[in-house]
Amino acid sequence: MATTTASLLLNSPDILDSQVINISKSGTIKQAGKRALGVESTTGLAMKTLEQDTAATIIDYSADDISGSAAKIYVRNTSSSTTQYLIVKIGSQIIGRLYGGDFMFIPYTGGASADITVTPSTTAKVVVEYIAFY
């Protein structure tokens, strides 16, 4: 059994006038319905170079065999540009923008027509890094 731990640290001494934000959380990623078992599969860490402002599929629900899982998805825009972003969608639903250097880590159950796609804001070259744990 594999052990995969995710960690997140949020720290800002000055975002709020009267309060310091300091959040530190970590946990082991588990299989769906099996709280004692860690995830055993991934899609593999991949990178895709995008040079068109059209949608590109990064997680293909049916091809990546994620059905019935409690997958976790990591996506990162490797660009250093503060103006170049990726629009991230699950199916037809926009879930956000990732600007240069931004990343996300989200739960994902997939489903029919629920592939994860990214669309660059520009035709300039941008590289997206991604992996699914399930």
- For 74-88, the pLDDT digits (tens) are 999 999 998 899 999
Mean of the pLDDT values across residues 121-131? 95
User: Mean pLDDT, the chain, as a whole number?
Assistant: 88
Share of residues in the chain with pLDDT > 90 (%): 55
> Which residue spans within the chain are E strands per DSSP?
5-12, 21-28, 30-31, 34-38, 46-50, 56-59, 71-77, 85-90, 93-99, 103-108, 116-120, 126-133
83-97 mean pLDDT: 95
What domains are there in the chain, each with its CATH number? 1-40 (no CATH), 41-133 (2.60.120.10)
